[in-house]
Amino acid sequence: MAYENYEPVIGLEVHVQLQTDAKIFSSDATAFGADPNTQVDPISLGHPGTLPVLNKKVVEYALRLGLATQCSIASRSVFARKHYFYPDLPKGYQISQYDTPICYDGYVEIFPGEDDETNSTDEQESRRIGLTRIHMEEDAGKSVHDPDEDTTRLDFNRCGVPLLEMVTEPDLRSPRGAYLFLQRLRQLVRYLGISDGNMEEGSLRCDANVSVRPRGREAFGTRTELKNMNSMRHVEQALDYEITRQIAAAERGDSITQQTLLWDAEAKATRPMRSKEEAHDYRYMPDPDLVEVAVDDEMIESVRASLPELPRARRQRFVDEVGLPPYDAGVLTEEQAVADYFEETLQQLYKRTKGGDTDAQAKVVSNFVMTEVMRVLNEQDLSIDELPVGPERLAQLAYLRLQDKVSSNGAQEVFEVMLEEHEKSAGKIADERDLIQVSDPDAIKPVVNEVLGDHPEKVETYLDGKEGLLGFFIGQVMQRFDGSPDPELVRSLLREQLDARRDEVDVEQ
């Protein structure tokens, strides 16, 4: 059952829930977490005599995603009715797009080399995952099953919530590749401002079609569809399980049944849900209540002009122009808000330094953001906008560190105080806590000589080759000095004095 003897073939169907104030065909609210059946109206419930009206914002968001993924844009696209019967679909059909999607023939690039945090080079091999289509559609309601009471309740709030469905070509060849694709897509929709991409809340939902074939064979095997995966990690785990299952069946000579499977995250296994539907099962037909969607060149160019700098381009600019290492640039551009915070902090620091080594300045700010800032965001579950330390105040602290006015430990202490004392500057906090480093050699030398004079035996041991004692001497100077001496200057002065004593011993001998 060796993986290397078989090639997985994977295609994804991803639903992106859009961040709009109203539903796709009605004015209902779309807020997550509302009480059941409080965000419904006659249109979303499919009452007779009601007519849908397309939300223009949905078209704009579809174009944003299509242009960002290099898709061709259809000048005319059509909504269709997708018929199936389920309790949480009150109309008995879903309004979607079938043979004329609004976006088609695009791609998303993934970078498998960047999956390894130890890979710090900027030469990353990319792989393009083709996109068959991106189309607009409405969401269905939600069935809430209670196994203890053996009941199912229906919440229709989600009916009519706008979705974009992205269908990939069968270009993925590993579960990890699928994970990286979803990670990239999540980042992209957040940058575009069209979705929060939260899989746990259902804003990003993924179904996967997977088959296996002996390596070297061109024909695809029989595929199965995987559902019920509510995290990227679950997608990866479900695909790995199903690929292993299919390979085992192939090795035994068993056939694969084309079917839909549910992923059981607790059991870490798939179980059959139903036989896999084909397009004819849904009896698609053009929706007679909706006109064609017409998109002209002026609208396309208007949306293109509104696109933000996308994450990959921003990452490259941070490397080429700002001077950051590729790893730092990747971490900082993962979230748009964090990248914005970094850039604003750096601009504030530039105003203070008025020149100098801009690469060093960028690295100082990067270190603060990747360590202290992101640590607090994760520990306290904050967004960057909720952080008490804004870009201007962080730039104050970065300037102190850049000028060696405070030590690394001192800077961490100042940052912690800045989180609580919102009105105080970094400099004032450092001064009040006696954290401003003394960088005057004449002030530090007497303490250095005093420490060496008090420990002649250890000095002799050091001179005999046990240079690890240097750390002991540094600690003694730091303790005795009235204030905060620059540790690097202390180290330098100690080495200077100890080398001089070694020279004296050599002369005497």
Read off the amino acid at residue 2. A
* Predicted pLDDT at 122: 46
- Taking alpha carbons only, the member of 90, 88, 92, 99 closest to residue 280 is 99
Q: Which helix (H) or strand (E) holds 449?
A: helix 441-454
d(CA 310, CA 36): 37
HEC-encoded secondary structure of 288-299: CCCCCEECCHHH
Tokens 């890979």 belong to 119
Helix residue ranges, H only, 142-231: 175-192
Read off the amino acid at residue 28. D
* Predicted pLDDT at 280: 65
The set of residues, in sequence order, having a beta carbon less than 8 Å from that of 149 and lying 6+ positions away, is none
- Identify the burial level of 344 via C-beta atoms within 10 angstroms of its C-beta, where 0-12 means exposed, 13-18 middle and 19 or more buried: middle
- Are the beta carbons of 14 and 41 closer than 8 angstroms? no
* Predicted pLDDT at 1: 43
- Are the beta carbons of 458 and 413 closer than 8 angstroms? no
In a 3-state reduction of DSSP, which class is residue 98? coil
d(CA 361, CA 321): 13
Beta bridge partners of 155: 142
- Taking alpha carbons only, the member of 279, 338, 378, 289 closest to residue 51 is 289
In a 3-state reduction of DSSP, which class is residue 122? coil
Tokens 């953001």 belong to 369
pLDDT digits (tens, 9 = 90+) for 17-71: 999 999 999 999 998 889 999 999 999 999 999 999 999 999 999 999 999 999 9
Longest dimension (CA), the chain: 109
Helix residue ranges, H only, 9-77: 56-68
Tokens 């041991």 belong to 461
d(CA 226, CA 245): 13
pTM for the full model? 0.84
* Predicted pLDDT at 121: 44
* Predicted pLDDT at 386: 95
| Burial readout 88-127 (b: 16 or more C-beta within 10 A, e: otherwise) | bbbbebbbbbbebbbbbebbbebbeebeeeebeeeeeeeb
Q: Is the dihedral angle over the CA atoms 391, 394, 399, 402 positive or is it negative?
A: negative
CB count, 10 Å around CB of 144?
A: 12
pLDDT means per 10 residues, the chain with 509 residues, are 82 97 94 92 93 97 98 97 92 94 97 59 74 97 86 94 97 95 96 93 93 93 92 95 95 92 92 69 91 97 97 96 96 96 96 90 97 96 95 96 88 95 91 84 86 89 87 89 80 87 66
CB count, 10 Å around CB of 247?
A: 18
Which token pair is 229?
């995966």
- Percentages (nearest 5) of helix, strand, coil residues in the chain: 45, 20, 35
pLDDT digits (tens, 9 = 90+) for 210-258: 999 999 999 999 999 999 898 999 999 999 999 999 999 999 999 999 9
- Taking alpha carbons only, the member of 195, 268, 190 closest to residue 229 is 268
- Taking alpha carbons only, the member of 464, 448, 455 closest to residue 505 is 464
Question: Can you count the helices (H) and strands (E) in the chain?
Answer: 16, 18
